[in-house]
Amino acid sequence: MVTRTWKLLVFAIVACGAIGTARSIQAPAPDATARAVKAAEAFLSTLDERQRAKANIGLNEQTRIVWSNLPTGTRMQVGATERNGLKLGDMTPPQEKAALALLAATLSAEGYEKALAVVGADQVLEEQSAPKRAPTQAIRFGRGEYYLAILGKASTTEKWMMQFGGHHLAINVTFAGGQQVLAPTHTGAQPASYSITGKTIRPLGDENDKAFALVNALNAEQQKQAILDVQVRNLVLGPGTDGKTIQPEGVRASAFTGPQRTMLLDLAREWVGILGNEAAAAKMKELEGSLPDTYFAWAGPTTNGKGAYFRIQGPAVFIEYAPQGQGDNNTDHIHTIYREPANDYAAKAGQQ
């Protein structure tokens, strides 16, 4: 069962707009990378030698791709492990506090809020699933099944990564000197809405609502271009598809009015803004500059409350949102992906 402390932590962060922990951790450090390095070193200092060997591993092409949207206990692809790192369920309270401090130092206050809300949904799923689960079933959900890993040596000059993930969350932040790259990162939610002490939490609610507002702000000709002739029921470039590309589809933002472009940027910011404020601002500037070559595609109904897929694709970002399963009303299980064309894992800063 979820602990009362975890419930109160999620509630405090989400209900109050990510105040407190995230902001207080971010404030003192001079810049984003130095902030994260300090938090990474503090976390590692709480671990014993065995734990540190799990939490801090080498960064290479094989280790960086070990992330997934699947719950622990699921049969993974050949050669893969469940997750990199040390899981929260194997940490002491001070170690878990330091782990979450690293997450908060890496992300924006809003990104930290979103991450905790996703973990909270997964804890609800665990509480709903546990009574029905056979004793021999290996699949597990919940807060204790989230892992944190540091790949490489935390540094203000050399490339390294921070991974935090479990079911429906895979945050992969690559640091390359003064750069921070969020891609590839997976966010999801199941259930898509839940309550804590009377407060309704929707981890991906703004993503959903802003997308429906945008598609309904398009005129008839724009909608005709945006809405695909096929059903899309899952992510096209989700986990396990690193290096793959698809042709752009939908309506080009060059055809958008000023207010429509603003709405598209605001929608994309829900993913870009997960990262710390400095890096997110730089990425949003890049996205704004590439809007003429950015596409918005839609599949499914345009009435909010029903399940619909959408995609934002251009030179700066590749974003997908996909309700899972069959039926237009299946909105309680969501997968999303955030990628940067040719720059996943900070590839533009040099290959590992």
Question: Tens digit of pLDDT for each residue in 154-190?
Answer: 999 999 999 999 999 999 999 998 899 999 999 999 9
Confidence of residue 130 (pLDDT cuts 50, 70, 90): confident
Q: What is the pTM of this model?
A: 0.91
User: What pLDDT was estimated at residue 132?
Assistant: 83
- Residue 352's nearest CA partner among 187, 242, 199, 234 is 242
Q: What tokens appear for 65 in the block?
A: 């791709």
Of 29-43, 61-75, 128-142, 235-249, the least confident: 128-142
Place of tokens 């003192």: 28
Task: Please give the angle made by the CA atoms of 244, 32 and 39, to the nearest 5 degrees.
Answer: 100
Rounded average pLDDT over 121-138 = 85
Q: What is the pLDDT of residues 184-219, one digit of tens each?
A: 999 999 999 999 889 999 999 999 999 999 999 999
Of 248, 247, 254, nearest in space to 222 by CA: 254
State how far the alpha carbon of 114 is from the alpha carbons of 13, 201, 339, in Å: 9, 10, 18
Q: What integer pLDDT is reported at residue 329 of this predicted model?
A: 63
pLDDT tens digit sequence for 260-269: 999 999 999 9
Average pLDDT of the chain to the nearest whole number = 89
DSSP class of residue 275 equals B
CB atoms within 10 A of CB 92: 11
Q: What is residue 133's predicted lDDT score, i.e. its pLDDT? A: 81
Residues 6 or more apart whose CB falls under 8 angstroms from that of 120 comprise 2, 6, 7, 10, 14, 143, 194, 196, 201, 203
| pLDDT tens sequence across 329-346 | 689 999 999 999 999 999
Residue range 128-155: average pLDDT?
Answer: 89
- CA–CA separation, 162 and 212 (whole Å): 32
State how far the Cα of 337 lies from the Cα of 106, in Å rounded to an integer. Answer: 19
**pLDDT, position 20:** 37
**Residue 351 scores a pLDDT above 60:** no
Q: Domain segments of the chain: what residues?
A: 4-198, 201-349
Q: Which residue has the tokens 């992330």?
A: 67
pLDDT of 156: 95
Return the pLDDT at 2. 43
With vertex at residue 8, the alpha carbon angle to CA 204 and CA 85, rounded to the nearest 5 degrees, is 70
Interatomic CA distance for residues 250 and 316, integer angstroms: 17
Alpha-carbon gap, residue 133 to 130, rounded angstroms: 5
Own/partner pairs, 198-206, CB within 8 angstroms, 24+ separation: 199/11, 199/14, 199/15, 201/10, 201/14, 201/117, 201/120, 201/121, 202/117, 203/114, 203/117, 203/118, 203/120, 203/121, 204/114, 204/321, 204/334, 204/336, 206/270
Question: Can you tell me the mean pLDDT for 51-72?
Answer: 94
List, for residues 261-294, the tens digit of each pLDDT value: 999 999 999 999 999 889 999 999 999 999 999 9
Of 107, 23, 94, nearest in space to 277 by CA: 107
The pLDDT tens digits of the residues spanning 3-41 come to 545 554 554 444 444 433 443 333 333 488 999 999 999
Q: How far is CA 10 from CA 25, 42, 117, 187, in A?
A: 16, 23, 6, 17
